[in-house]
Chains A and B, each alone.
Chain A
Amino acid sequence: MAAPLEKRIILADYGKPDSHTLSVYEAGGGYTALKKALVSEKDKWTPDGIINEVKASNLRGRGGAGFPTGLKWSFVPRNTGKPTYVVCNADESEPGTFKDRVILEDLPHSIIEGMILAGLALESRQGYIYLRGEFYKGWQRVDAAIQEAYAKGYLGENVLGSGKTFHLATYRGAGAYICGEETALLESLEGRRGHPRLKPPFPAVKGLYGSPTTVNNVETFAAIPHIINNGGEWFKKLGIGNEKSGGTKLFSVSGHVMKPGVYEVPMGISLIDFINETAGGIRPGKELKAVIPGGSSTPVMTRQEVMRAKLDYESMAELGTFLGSGGMIVLDSSTDMVQLTKRLADFYAHESCGQCTPCREGSKWIADIIDRLIDGHAVEDDLKTLLSFTKNMGNGTTICPFADANVMGVVPIVEKFYDEFLHYLEKGKSGEGK
């Protein structure tokens, strides 16, 4: 059942019994886009035909960075003589984000159909779905769905009798947040430690096994069949905000709301309406304090900022934050922002892959300072030091954007709720915290 303001496209079958099976997916129109592209409208859906339709949809990567998907696919060279790979990023580990898990566990065929269509667009014959190791149930569901798709001729040497080949296999990560970063993911998929690669070259040109590769998020692939079925223009117009943010988007909302969960809404709706109507509002007797809008790496928003925000990429950027993955953590007046920061700082310190000094050392310093503050051992300069050295942590000094993510996730909390951090400092001085 759809919640208020919801517009279910990708999630149309979510909640139906056996939504993960082929028969339910087909009953809801599943694999008709593939049949069009390969059989009934095969002249229209050339590789460029598919890419142009995706471009027209203004679909932007749902993994967090929001890069236009059609444009990304157009960067992948075809006919290099090397194989081309389609890789699905199902590593979903950004704190606060749990939308891909729903698609993996309950709607796996939508990912498979999207990936086959991407394979047609890029003239690829092989795709891989890289799932975080903790998603065992998700892996089982995806694996079973792949087998169903093979049995029905959607995958294999001769997809739907078209003469085209597309194979799909799964890969399981093993507990490393950094493997969500696309080049770390590729390293991991090649059987090594998940150390991000220096870019350029970008995966589009030199990705998996040194071959042209597209890496896209689960939700990005799940949107593709709808775009092929109904047209790019249709998808774009589902968004009601800035037209550069096309379509609907899944938001996973947690924290202090009455109805946490995963919801699909048109891009561009008001954030506060989403919180109050779709997610059931704040707990009774409490007030909204802040929102982390798009996963822990997106700058926290104060109540005032939340009131003005619309859920599209442009509006969020105007407010100095990001739509990110859509992993929203809602915080009410009871939240201790220093303790919250500790959870995030510890996480980043633990998950830095350690290749770059500013990230490896910086992430530990941040966590140490927050620890000292909570233990009552911090001094005045500690907070100033934190605000100063974090300016040099990312900003191109590191191989991958993890260090920037760490800084964006932590520093705005310290800046915007500085009083609370000072309060811990005072408590420490008076000996209360020790």
Chain B
Amino acid sequence: MRAVENYTFSAKAEERFKKLETQFPERESLVLWALHLVQEDAGYIPPSAISYVAERVGVSRSHVQGVISFYAMFHDKPMGKFHLQVCVNASCWLAGSDELEKTIENHLQIRPGETTSDGLFTYNRQGECLASCGTAPVVQINADYHESMTPQKLETLIEQLKRDS
């Protein structure tokens, strides 16, 4: 993970940002992209990245802050290494997402919005449909979808993530 004090883009993020700068006629468009790059670097948006993004893009700090607070995927606090999101919208609920919520709460002893004390897992209920209704229920872990999930599969997966880290 990238240092969060005096944040600056990693070399990879810098390279992508330079390309993005050529793709949009107005620099304001770069705000969301820049925040995605920060989050890929640091796992969340550290306070120092707010001024950094504002400066790099050429907008005010409050603009950047407003964007962060509007969009659910931008996190202004550190997250667990693995962010578990259980889709609880209609089709996933029909397919048993309640059981997945219970599995996480029992197995990891955390409630929605909380992170395990070892910093490994953050858990959220995802109210927005993840467009995985045909393979419901789905749990998103970081960028990946885990589809047709069952409590047993989820427990196994959690245990494996623990072992691997």
Q: Is B136 an interface residue (CB 8 A)?
A: yes
Set A167, A190, A252: member contacting B23, Cβ < 8 A: A167
CA–CA, A191 to B23, complex, Å?
A: 13
Residues of B73-106 whose CB lies within 8 A of A: 73-74, 88-91, 93-95
Q: Are B36 and A344 in contact (CB under 8 A)?
A: no
A292 to B134, CA, bound (A): 14
Nearest-CB residue, chain A, relative to B74: A174
Chain B contacts with A in 1-38, Cβ cutoff 8 A: 20, 23-33, 35-36
Interface residue tally for chain A (C-beta within 8 Å):
56
Whether A324 is near chain B, meaning CB under 8 Å from some CB there, is no
Q: Are the CB atoms of B129 and A96 closer together than 8 Å?
A: yes
Establish whether residues B93 and A191, one from each chain, have CB atoms under 8 Å apart when the complex forms.
no
* B120 interface residue per 8 A CB criterion: no
Residues of A within 8 A of B127 (CB): 346-347, 350-351
Enumerate chain B residues within 8 angstroms of A231, measured Cβ to Cβ: none
**Looking at the complex, which one of B32, B88, B134 makes contact with A343 (CB distance below 8 Å)?**
B88
Instruction: Find chain B residues with CB under 8 A from A292 CB.
Output: 90
Given A93-B128, A96-B90; A190-B28 close (CB under 8 Å): yes
Q: Is B113 an interface residue (CB 8 A)?
A: no
For residue B111, give the distance in angstroms from its CB to the closest CB of chain A.
Answer: 17
The interface-forming segment of A50-58, A130-138, A268-276 is: A130-138
Instruction: Tell whether, in the assembled complex, residue B70 and residue A193 are in contact, meaning their CB atoms are under 8 Å apart.
Output: yes
With known contacts A344-B90, A347-B89, A189–B29 Cβ distance under 8 A: yes
Work out how many contacts link A and B, with CB atoms closer than 8 A. Answer: 147
Task: Decide: B67 and A96 in contact? CB cutoff 8 A.
Answer: no
Contact of A175 among B33, B71, B89, B131 (CB under 8 A): B71
B133 lies within 8 A of A98 (CB):
yes
Q: How far is the CA of A203 from the CA of B122 in the complex (A)?
A: 40
Q: Judge whether B133 and A190 touch: CB under 8 Å.
A: no
* Nearest B residue to A331, CB-CB: B94
- State whether the Cβ of B59 lies closer than 8 Å to any Cβ in chain A: yes
**Once the chains are docked, how many angstroms separate the CA of A252 from the CA of B90?**
14
**Given A133-B36, A173-B71, A343-B88; A93-B131 close (CB under 8 Å):** yes
B50 at the interface (CB under 8 A from A): no
A175–B128 CB distance below 8 A: yes
A171 contact from B25, B27, B33, B74, Cβ within 8 A: B33
Closest chain-A Cβ to B139's Cβ sits at a distance in Å of 12
Q: Is A327 an interface residue (CB 8 A)?
A: yes
In the complex, which residues 171-200 of chain A have their Cβ closer than 8 Å to any Cβ of chain B? 171-177, 188-194
Is the CB–CB distance between B32 and A188 below 8 Å? Answer: yes
A171–B131 CB distance below 8 A: no
Number of interface residues of B (CB under 8 A): 45
A interface: dominant SS: mixed
**Chain A residues numbered 337-369 whose CB sits less than 8 Å from any CB in chain B:** 339-340, 343-344, 346-347, 350-351
Cβ of A379 within 8 Å of any chain B Cβ, yes or no, is no
Query: Which of B63, B72, B94, B134 is within 8 Å of A174, CB to CB?
Result: B72
- A254, B66: Cβ atoms closer than 8 Å: no
Which residues of chain A come closer than 8 Å to B128, judged between CB atoms? 93, 134, 175, 177, 347, 350-351
> Is B49 part of the binding interface, using a Cβ–Cβ cutoff of 8 Å?
no
Per the bound structure, the CA–CA distance linking A61 and B131 in Å amounts to 19
In the bound complex, how far is the Cα of B89 from the Cα of A255, in angstroms?
A: 12
Interface-centre pick from A98, A134, A327 (highest chain B CB count, 10 A): A134
Instruction: Note all chain B residues with C-beta closer than 8 A to A101.
Output: 131-132
Which residues of A are found within 8 Å of B29, using beta-carbon distances? 171, 189-191
A95 to B90, Cβ gap below 8 A?
Answer: yes
Contact yes or no, A174 B36, CB < 8 A: yes
- Chain B residues with CB below 8 A from A412, complex form: none
Measured in the bound complex, the distance between the Cα atoms of B90 and A296 in whole Å is: 8
Interface string of B104-135 (1 = CB under 8 A from A): 00000000000000000000000111111111
Residue of A whose beta carbon sits closest to that of B23: A169
The residues of B that contact A346 with a CB separation of less than 8 Å are 127
By beta carbon, the residue of chain A nearest B27 is A191
How far, in Å, is B24 (CB) from chain A's closest CB?
Answer: 7
CB distance from B58 to the nearest CB of A (A): 10
Out of B23, B36, B59, B129, name the residue touching A172 (CB < 8 Å). Answer: B36
CB distance from A140 to the nearest CB of B (A): 9
Chain B residues contacting A158 (CB-CB under 8 Å) are none
Cβ–Cβ contact B72 & A252, under 8 A: no
Q: List chain B residues, Cβ under 8 A from A96.
A: 90-91, 129, 133
B interface residue numbers (CB < 8 A to A): 20, 23-33, 35-36, 57, 59, 63, 66-67, 70-74, 88-91, 93-95, 127-136, 140, 143-145
Instruction: List the 3 shortest-distance A-B pairs measured between CB atoms, nearest first.
Output: A175-B72, A254-B133, A174-B71
Sample 20 A-B pairs with CB under 8 A, ordered by A number. Answer: A93-B128, A98-B134, A126-B25, A134-B73, A169-B24, A172-B33, A172-B36, A174-B72, A177-B128, A189-B29, A191-B29, A192-B28, A192-B67, A193-B66, A194-B71, A252-B134, A254-B94, A254-B133, A260-B134, A260-B135
Taking Cβ atoms with an 8 Å cutoff, the residues of A that contact B are: 83, 92-98, 100-101, 126, 132-137, 167, 169, 171-177, 188-194, 209, 252-256, 260-262, 292, 296, 327, 329, 331, 335, 339-340, 343-344, 346-347, 350-351
* A134-B73, A134-B130, A254-B133 known, 20 other contacts, Cβ within 8 Å: A95-B90, A95-B133, A97-B131, A98-B131, A100-B131, A167-B23, A169-B23, A172-B33, A174-B32, A175-B72, A188-B32, A191-B30, A191-B31, A192-B63, A193-B67, A193-B70, A194-B70, A255-B90, A329-B90, A335-B94
